[in-house]
Chain A
């Protein structure tokens, strides 16, 4: 009985302390959260309008039937998969500087998956029928539909990336050594699972012969290569911010190691893209139309041309920044490289990938798609929500990792009370 009471008390203490941690912070923290909340509110407002009017409220149409939402979804799945670049060196090679931050990386992955799932949800015409996709109560078309695979893969990855860090944090909280026999299988599973989520997302597009632009075998490797550029780049930036605003210590070595991995990934990414461009331009079949639309413009339609060339320039510049040890190991150039990668890959894997799949459409019609204000605002809202989730997770996770927020405090209180 007393034990149960203790457990309840401890749980209460944990929740109270968590709430205090989340609710208290510097002015910058409040400002940041308020800013995010404002974006979330605006996004929600616009989404409600879209829900009311229908997808009519967006700039998508029968020619370009997926737009900014699915572009963001594709990018974020990649960002989430990238956490594996921290998991492998941390748990398999026991590279100490990364091992200290891997939990934060996993929570970043979880936040990214949440954003990715939300982007699919807002893209659905009938959110009220979302349950049709669930197994048992709905009629999930598994294993036929790749979209069903993606639902399973993303949710599985989300569960793994919440379970592992939360388990480890709870153990740290109690000052106990994690039971590796229990958690290691999950950690090991998360590695192929990360590869799987992005592969399945690539296959989603890849399996459609109706869209020659996507129907290239090289797609899944390309997806993985670009994901292993952009995700780690975001992580490098985030870790530097965390290091500035919290007590956590992050060694530069960890950042430089991640940057080195980006250099390899970016080489692969550029190489695979080059291979695809060669094949399309040299064989010069009718399938080249989408590539021409993207890189040169087609029949005077060239919305995407400046974007993709900017992305190409950013990716190549970033590659050299990360390749040369001198620029990779200086924080200013490192951060410049990260920003270039984040933007370059977003353009390439987001709008630069989704839209040319629809232009020209199967009947040869050309419709140029640009997202409208509503789509932008809903997208900003989802990004803001993801960042807010990540911020709050960090607010609790970091004090546990650094040992400021533990069970012992509570124990001291108990001892004090007993003495009294």
Chain B
């Protein structure tokens, strides 16, 4: 986030890192800086047929992206802000994906972190990722 020369990306108070697609200048410095390859670039003009457009959109989320600007996963900000799960969590047929409030001690996600084997990627980089991988011992 701090590498962005124009303040086009930041962490929301609820912890989701977002990109302002209308403000990004497309320098791709954040792509170079991301250790998780979490950011992608729209190399051309995105084209979604009008009939496939989702009309329930969020400015920082699932609206049609900009040509030549950076984008990233928004954890379906338009869904999670209204109390629903991100689409991938809801769609996953095996329940391999979990999503929740890390600050809530009674949440499912806290239960998993405390009771399963968990790890995070590249912890030595001190980025404190909130993305945990869990597995059964």
Q: A residues near B, CB below 8 A? A: 53-56, 60-62, 65-66, 120, 123-126, 129-130, 132-133, 138-141, 144-148, 151, 204-205, 207-211, 357-358, 361-363
Contacts and interface: CB of A to CB of B under 8 A. Distances in A.
A357 B28 CA distance: 14
Contact of B4 (A55, A62, A124, A145): A145
A133 B5 CA distance: 6
A77 to B, nearest CB: 15
A129 B2 contact: no
A148 B33 contact: no
Interface residues of B, number: 32
Nearest to A125: B26
User: DSSP class of B's interface residues: helix, strand, loop or mixed?
Assistant: loop
A123 B28 CA distance: 9
A58 B109 CA distance: 42
Interface stretch (B35-43, B49-57, B99-107): B35-43
Contacts of B68: 54-55, 125-126
Interface string B95-132: 00000000000000000000000000000010000000
Contacts of A132: 6, 8, 23, 25
A65 B41 contact: yes
Given A124-B25, A124-B27, A361-B37, A54 B42 contact: yes
A125 B24 CA distance: 9
A132 B23 CA distance: 7
A141 B33 contact: no
Contacts of B6: 129, 132-133, 138-141
Contact of B44 (A53, A138, A146, A151): A53
B29 interface: yes
Nearest to A60: B43
Contacts of B66: 126
B67 interface: yes
Contacts of A148: 5
B29 A62 contact: no
Contacts of B33: 208, 210-211
